[in-house]
A and B are shown apart, each in its own frame.
Chain A
Amino acid sequence: MMKWIDVCAMEDLQPNSGVCALVNDRQVAIFFIPKETQVYAVSNYDPFSKTNILSRGMIGDLTGQRVVASPMYKQHFNLVTGACLEDDSVSIPVYSVKIENARVLIGVEENS
């Protein structure tokens, strides 16, 4: 069962950039593209530098994939799948996210 957790208001998001939310003790990076009213949510933890910083990375697209670049060592992670573009063996968790009534909701599995 997916449960939606309200984390913040839409206006708390940073346009074309990221913020980090604490969701059930997990750090979730949320990115916002105002032009498309699109939001993405991935883990804030960068497995290469082992730091919680991905929300501070730049977003963009590379060969058609929406990505965030780690601000530490610049690896790119697919915002939809979590896959690392530079290293097949690495990926980061991704989260369901939606906007409802100008609030940002993150989906978590009930039993997790």
Chain B
Amino acid sequence: MKKTLVVIGNGMVGQNFLAGLVNSAIKDHYEVITFCEEPRPAYDRVHLSEFFSGKTAQDLSLVPENFFQDHAITIHLGDKAVKIDRENKTVTSEKGLVIQYDKLVLATGSYPFVPPVPGADRANCLVYRTIEDLEAIQAAAANGKIGAVVGGGLLGLEAAKALKDLGLETHVVEFAPRLMAVQLDDAGGAMLRRKIEGLGVTVHTSKNTNLITDGDKCVNKMCFADGEELETDVILFSAGIRPRDDIARDCGLEVGPRGGIVINNQCATSDPDIYAIGECALWNGMIYGLVAPGYAMARTVVAELAGDAAGFTGADMSTKLKLMGVDVASIGDAHAKTPGAMVYTYQNGATEIYKRLVVSADKKQLLGAVLVGEASGYSTLLQYCLNGIELPENPDALILPHRSDESVGLGPDALPLSAQICSCYDVNKGAICSAVESGCTTLNALKAETKAGTGCGGCVPLLKSVLNSELAKHGYEVNTDICEHFPYTRQDLFNLIRVEQIKTFGDLLAKHGNGMGCDVCKPAVGSILASQWNEFVLSEEHLGLQDTNDTFLANMQKDGTYSVVPRITGGEIKPDMLIVLGQVAKKYNLYTKITGGQRVDLFGAKVDQLPNIWKELIEAGFESGHAYGKSLRTVKSCVGSTWCRYGIDDSVGLAVELENRYKGLRSPHKLKFAVSGCTRECAEAQGKDVGVIATENGWNLYVCGNGGMKPRHADLFATGLDKATLIRYIDRFLSFYVRTADRLQRTSVWMENMEGGLDYLKAVVIDDKLGLCEELEKQMQYVIDTYQCEWKTTIANEDKLKRFRHFVNSDKTDDNVVFVEERGQIRPANEEERKHFNLLEVAE
């Protein structure tokens, strides 16, 4: 015979309790019945203001589809439990239902506190808690111009955002002398105020509202104790919450002197068969107005019912929020109330950032922190605080801006397994590690498995870094299949192709894969085949493997036209050639720009123009610049000893030689080189995959640098080399990279992920530790010997040119491509301009 469990309240915490319950075996012992006074089941109150930025009640719902049905839970929607009879163990509802219970859970939540101001019950004086409240606010705002929020705390500022989103002139009225008085100190509150006022919200602090009465211009007028007045149409009270404990009070359960149902560490009330969780519960004299502690209480009761040892022992009240677009975070003892506590402060008036650290007297422990304007350090600081991790020697480094490459972040490896990563769902690092171990190799899989990161979302960056660190530790044991069509890594595929002498994608798929392939494996295999056998990339069997850029030997731009990039080795160009470029650009009306790689890009070529443009360029002596391929792009150089007063060696000469040597090499990602003629380093060789710098003692070789999104300085690989040795090393280095890197992995990441890193790479390339060097050099020599200019081959082949038309059945061109003129050259028309041209979208 099943027992009956009644849950009063289906808010965030009530629902979280049910979700926890159905995942526990104890659920089978209970018939579960829940009351929900609102017309809809639990929804996300934390993100309530998003209702005004377009989310629907459905979007905010926290209840999975068919949840109650699937788990045989009875929910009485729109019916409120009004009475508990502890003697007969029954609950009576407003609609007259009487339910017998064995165990009862109170999750009645809280209600917004409305200060006892005369006039607080006037029209348009509202609160901000339920979707119905929001609808009332929306209706009131529709007929008003001005809105005021009473309360400058977390919820008050959220409510202010809602008013602002509704288009009202918005005021925040706070009783305390600063905003977010509970979480912030004076300076932090002042900074927040400046930022919020910068967003067009007027902030009034130290304001005590005496009376609300008829306004002259607006519906209402607020009269303050200091004699000032504020006319406003809408007033929202958001001055704190009060526990809803009347049903408990009425049946004689113990409540606190200022409200709240008293619970013990097991979340049981003074009646052992009745529990209370969430904002209605008073634990240790404390009401927790945050969702995470409520969830912790819910977990405690599930464990308690199941007979597992568990206890609620208080909760961390640290918070991180985005209030009206401003990052605000508060951790632990933000007000430095701990005896002996010391404070570090960083304040940047220009960028409106305020940070404060509170540390123990011995400077070893972080006690608390306040962050306003920039809160990216929140996760790290919270971990220091919660796990008692010893602070670095200079704790202020944790809040000072990064001005060099010193790293002060707390790496995921420094965290103990017990470190709580997600406080909403209480997921610790250990749980995340084992989820990764059991196959969750993506953020989404990890979220689905552990629920971490699915609450407030604040821990997602930390979650991701734990995931990445775990993945890295597992190396290739984790699923690194290139895609669903091949159960292999790129390196595996490279070896299969090499050893089994496979020449086409079709053969590889038939022997080692399944399905048809996709836009991940096809170009990767196309690249491997090209670096291994170096056949024409547009031959019939390779054609379908190339991305559009490779297929049309040009780079697609945002409007579907292409850019044309001829090779200019080492950035050295004869005047006659430069003239040809100018003539071609002029003839075809191409936008012309000098690139960072010391060459010239011509933009705006339609697909059908490409062959004619290239015919002219090739006749003049140009060749393909391979800007479209994952291959060597440019070898940048300074002018070197030939002209420069300080030059040590001929950097241009070497750059030209290197570029000609490696041009056309297909690789896992693009490759950029540079050669500098002296250590002044004008060619910026230390920011390149391969960098060479001339010294008195010979060439210095740098490897694995790059610019871009994550710039990395190259590492010094070998010094004082003669040219023959230098080239030998580069041959080996590139071959080894092409053979072993992952798809789209730049040399920097490739080396950083390599066990042994730079030293290992040196051992392979310089000391021939793997006995591979001869083979690596041979492979490179083969690619060099079989080089062809792809454009030259294409132009000579009538059949290949067929592809370079927009329509297979018409000589028309794409009328959707439209240019306008800017600074004397063409550019793609923007959407506004396109309307002007009256272009219709090709949609049905």
Chain A residues with a Cβ under 8 A of chain B: 7-8, 12-17, 19-22, 26-27, 30, 33, 35, 43-45, 47, 49-53, 56-64, 66-67, 69, 71-72, 74, 76, 93
Contact = CB atoms under 8 A, between A and B. Distances in A.
Nearest to B844: A93
A72 B556 contact: yes
Contacts of B808: 7-8, 12-13, 19-21, 30
B543 A14 contact: yes
A54 B556 CA distance: 12
A22 B807 contact: yes
Please tell me the size bucket of the interface on B. Answer: 35 or more
B841 A58 contact: no
Nearest to A64: B515
B518 A61 contact: yes
Given A14-B803, A27-B842, A52 B544 contact: no
B816 A15 contact: no
A26 B841 CA distance: 10
DSSP majority for the A interface? strand
Interface string B794-808: 000000001100111
Q: Which 7 A-B pairs have the closest CB atoms?
A: A16-B544, A71-B548, A60-B518, A51-B560, A69-B519, A19-B808, A45-B842
Contacts of B185: none
Interface in B394-439: none
A19 B516 CA distance: 19
Given A27-B842, A45-B843, A56 B551 contact: yes
A58 B506 CA distance: 15
Nearest to A20: B807
Interface string B825-844: 00000000000000001111
B17 interface: no
Contact of A22 (B517, B812, B844): B812
B58 interface: no
B484 interface: yes
Given A45-B842, A71-B548, A52 B519 contact: no
Contacts of B515: 60-61, 64
Contact of A58 (B544, B558, B802): B544
Interface of B: 484-485, 506, 515-519, 521-523, 540, 543-544, 547-549, 551-552, 556, 558-560, 607, 802-803, 806-810, 812, 814, 816-817, 841-844
DSSP majority for the B interface? loop
Contact of A43 (B806, B807, B817, B842): B842
A26 B806 contact: no
A15 B505 CA distance: 13
A110 B544 CA distance: 34
B544 A15 contact: yes
Contact of B544 (A17, A21, A44): A17
B630 to A, nearest CB: 15
B518 A69 contact: yes
A62 B506 CA distance: 17
B484 A62 contact: yes
A50 B559 CA distance: 8
Contacts of B806: 20, 52
A12 B540 contact: no
A59 B842 contact: no
B552 A47 contact: no
10 contacts: A15-B540, A19-B808, A22-B810, A45-B841, A49-B560, A52-B560, A52-B814, A53-B556, A58-B519, A72-B556
A22 B523 CA distance: 28
A44 B518 contact: no
A68 B844 CA distance: 19
A71 B547 CA distance: 7
Contacts of B809: 7-8, 12, 21-22
A7 B515 CA distance: 29
Contacts of B558: 49, 51, 72
A15 B543 contact: yes
A35 B505 CA distance: 13
A20 B815 CA distance: 14
Contacts of A20: 806-808
Contacts of A26: 842
B810 A50 contact: no
B97 to A, nearest CB: 40
Contacts of B807: 20-22, 27
A48 B266 CA distance: 54
